Amino acid sequence: MQRRATASGNNAAASDIDDSQLYKEHWPDLGGSIKDSLHNGCRLTTITKKFPIITWLPKYETSYLLQDFIAGFTVGLTTIPQAIAYGVVAGLEPQYGLYSAFMGCFTYIIFGSCKDVTIATTAIMALMVHPYAIQSPDYAALICFLAGCLILLMGLLNLGVLVRFISIPVITGFTIAAATTIGSAQINNLFGMATPSNDLVPAWKHFFTHLNAIGWYDAALGVSSLIFLFLMKKTKDIPFGNRIMWKYVSLSRNALTVIIGTSLAFGLSRDGVQPFRVTGNITAGLPPFRPPPFSTNVNGTDVSFSEMIHTVGASLASIPMVAILEVVAIAKAFSKGKIVNASQEMIALGMCNIMGSFVSSMPVTGSFTRTAVNNASGVKTPLGGAVTGALVLMALAFLTKTFYFIPKCTLASIIIAAMVSLVELDKVRDTWKAKKKDLFPFVATLIPAMFWSLEYGILCGIMANISYILYSSAKPQIWLNNEKILEREVGLVDVKQKLDFASAEYLKEKVVKFVNLNVRGSRNLVVIKGQEINSIDYTVAMNLISLREDLKILNCDLICWNWNVSSAGVVCRLENQMRDMFRFEKSLEEVVHEYLQTHSNTSSENSLYTLA
């Protein structure tokens, strides 16, 4: 970039900005970039990156096999009872949760990039799909397919960067609201009562207004199971004995709880009479592999594809978004120093949902609980998911009669225990300590998600995030103070943020107001520092031109000092005569000195105002 400045006549200290050179330096060859992107996209290495199994499987060592088997088996013992429970939460028969689990495990092996992540149905996904699944299981499979297509498309377009625009307070608020709602919905099942609603307030209202309907056997088993789960979680911290054994005992707590509860229900049943409310019949065998349903029948009425889409509505956007947030957040939490490719995780999640829809699966995503179990079990590669998937398939084939006797209060205790671990109050405390303003998007997410719906809750949180960003952008930090330069009084105003269309008018108002309040002579100078202004847009450029004209009316001159050349070029391409307004590669004292020489006819008592 060629920049020249002279110190005499009308061209004093003016910069000559070469437009053609500016374009070459600051704007790449767009056609070449597109060509290179297309060429890179067709390379074999780029294609293989979409299938991580091609990278890790040839490097697989036999020493990994035992560790992957142990991890996969342990995760399977956690997955089976949770999948059954979350199928019930979704308003489906229990086997649908198992369908979701086994297909998610097998598909993620091929496309997943994080060895620890376990894909299956989760409590949040179950709750979000519940309003539609209770009408027909076909709704769950269709949502699973459409959500998978959208997630896959976003991953292929490398839109994983979008998750960066959702802050941790929003995710925390959403997670706490979902965990509270899901846990509250199970309080009735825990005490042996029917659950009329999965919403927070109706669930508790029903509980307190129907205390006389408590099943005392269920209540005793449910509360005991809950206490047992919390105690078992602490066994990994026992300081004596074999610590590895205690760790696996702790990891198997869900399976042990289900085994104990099922054994009691089976042993205490007499002539078909049960002391507990049990899960009931579960369809045995593998699900049929067929395309997802694009129409259905609800209560004898045919429902077309367009009517199904209209019924699901905004959930077609919120469910994929929540699924992406969960899997990316989990992958980052267990990446252990590695960079997580969010777009690849979206591709994997999209394929898991698409393939799952062919076996009547409900929407799936990453499970924090099962991923933590996988990690703690020392899994070495994603192949551990094959063991988990195989275990789920075996359960579907051989254990469905046993599942009949699983008490609902036992499943409720497992869900409540899992939800308690998701209520991360320590993050709320840390947010309060670090920056109290960040509690605004947290509360904006939490309240609507708990008392309105999860979809609108996260939407409100995102809107709060956006409004926060826009507010900060519209009012950048501008410092104004007075200084003496060359024995002249100088006013300094430093712009501390980038300028864009939202802040253009704000800068102009601040400058004009400052000059009106501080004018003391017949000739004044306004200098805007530009070291921290990396880029401007058309609106800023137009406001800058307008500002110069307004300052002339106030008998002021405007100089832009040490601006980024590309930013200066935006203004100069609009009006060529604005070139003399910019000064480069000179100190502020030199700029002031040249200005004084140029306007030597000005009286010595004139005040000099510099807005930096």
pLDDT digits (tens, 9 = 90+) for 392-408: 888 888 877 777 788 88
Q: Sorting pLDDT into bands at 50, 70 and 90, what band is 42?
A: low
Q: Are residues 253 and 392 in the same domain?
A: yes
- Residues 582 and 15: beta-carbon distance below 8 Å: yes
pLDDT tens track for 146-176: 999 999 998 888 877 777 777 778 878 887 8
63 — phi, psi (to 5°)? -70, -20
Per the model's pLDDT, the better-predicted residue between 163 and 569 turns out to be 569
Query: Which positions ≥6 away from 419 have C-beta within 8 Å?
Result: 123, 179, 180, 182, 183
- Residues 265 and 257: beta-carbon distance below 8 Å: no
Tokens 């306004």, residue located: 526
Is position 7 within any domain?
A: no
Per-residue pLDDT at 21? 43
- 116-121-124-127 Cα dihedral, nearest 10 degrees: 180
Per-residue pLDDT averaged across 196-215, rounded? 81
CATH for 488: 3.30.750.24
User: Residue 418 corresponds to which tokens in the numbers above?
Assistant: 């899992």
- Residues 140 and 133: beta-carbon distance below 8 Å: yes
Is position 592 within any domain?
A: yes
Q: Are residues 399 and 512 in the same domain?
A: no
Q: Sorting pLDDT into bands at 50, 70 and 90, what band is 309?
A: very high
CA distance 441 to 596: 51
**pTM for this predicted structure:** 0.68
Q: Sorting pLDDT into bands at 50, 70 and 90, what band is 333?
A: low
Per-residue pLDDT at 353? 93
Q: Are residues 480 and 366 in the same domain?
A: no
Q: Are residues 263 and 396 in the same domain?
A: yes
The structural domain count of the chain equals 2
Domain end among 387, 404, 422 = 422
Per-residue pLDDT averaged across 304-314, rounded? 90
- Residues 96 and 86: beta-carbon distance below 8 Å: no
Span between the terminal Cα atoms of the chain, in Å: 24
In 3D, which of 67, 52, 113 has the Cα closest to residue 374? Answer: 67
Does the pLDDT value for residue 612 go beyond 80?
no
Is position 10 within any domain?
A: no
pLDDT tens track for 484-529: 777 666 667 777 777 777 777 888 888 888 877 776 555 677 778 7
Q: Sorting pLDDT into bands at 50, 70 and 90, what band is 9?
A: very low
Q: Are residues 408 and 532 in the same domain?
A: no
Per-residue pLDDT averaged across 48-64, rounded? 84
Out of 15-19, 204-208, 337-341, 464-468, which region has the weakest mean confidence (pLDDT)?
Answer: 15-19
Is position 430 within any domain?
A: no
Per-residue pLDDT at 597? 74
Per-residue pLDDT averaged across 4-21, rounded? 39
Q: Are residues 390 and 495 in the same domain?
A: no
Mapping DSSP onto H, E and C, the string for 506-528 reads HHHHHHHHHHHHHCCCCCEEEEE
In 3D, which of 379, 393, 388, 392 has the Cα closest to residue 65? Answer: 379
| Domain of 86, in residue numbers | 66-285+317-422
Is position 362 within any domain?
A: yes
Q: Are residues 181 and 271 in the same domain?
A: yes
CA distance 331 to 360: 26
Q: Are residues 493 and 352 in the same domain?
A: no
Is position 332 within any domain?
A: yes
Per-residue pLDDT averaged across 274-289, rounded? 78
DSSP line for 565-602: HHHHHHHHHH-GGGGGGEE-S--HHHHHHHHHHHTTTS
In 3D, which of 166, 170, 165, 169 has the Cα closest to residue 429? Answer: 169
CA distance 560 to 565: 11
Percent of the chain at pLDDT exceeding 90: 7
Q: Are residues 364 and 512 in the same domain?
A: no
Domain end among 422, 456, 487 = 422
Q: Which amino acid is at 244?
A: I
CA distance 469 to 425: 25
Residue 530 CA: distances (Å) to CA of 445, 481, 513: 38, 16, 20
Per-residue pLDDT at 23? 36
Is position 373 within any domain?
A: yes
Does the pLDDT value for residue 7 go beyond 60?
no
Average pLDDT, the chain: 78
Does the pLDDT value for residue 410 go beyond 80?
yes
Q: Are residues 387 and 530 in the same domain?
A: no
Is position 327 within any domain?
A: yes
Domain end among 422, 438, 455 = 422
Range among 187-196, 333-342, 347-356 rated most confident: 347-356
109 — phi, psi (to 5°)? -60, -40
Per the model's pLDDT, the better-predicted residue between 2 and 190 turns out to be 190
Q: Are residues 160 and 231 in the same domain?
A: yes
User: Residue 191 corresponds to which tokens in the numbers above?
Assistant: 């005490």
Q: Sorting pLDDT into bands at 50, 70 and 90, what band is 605?
A: very low
Does the pLDDT value for residue 242 go beyond 90?
no
Q: Are residues 488 and 413 in the same domain?
A: no
Per-residue pLDDT at 419? 79
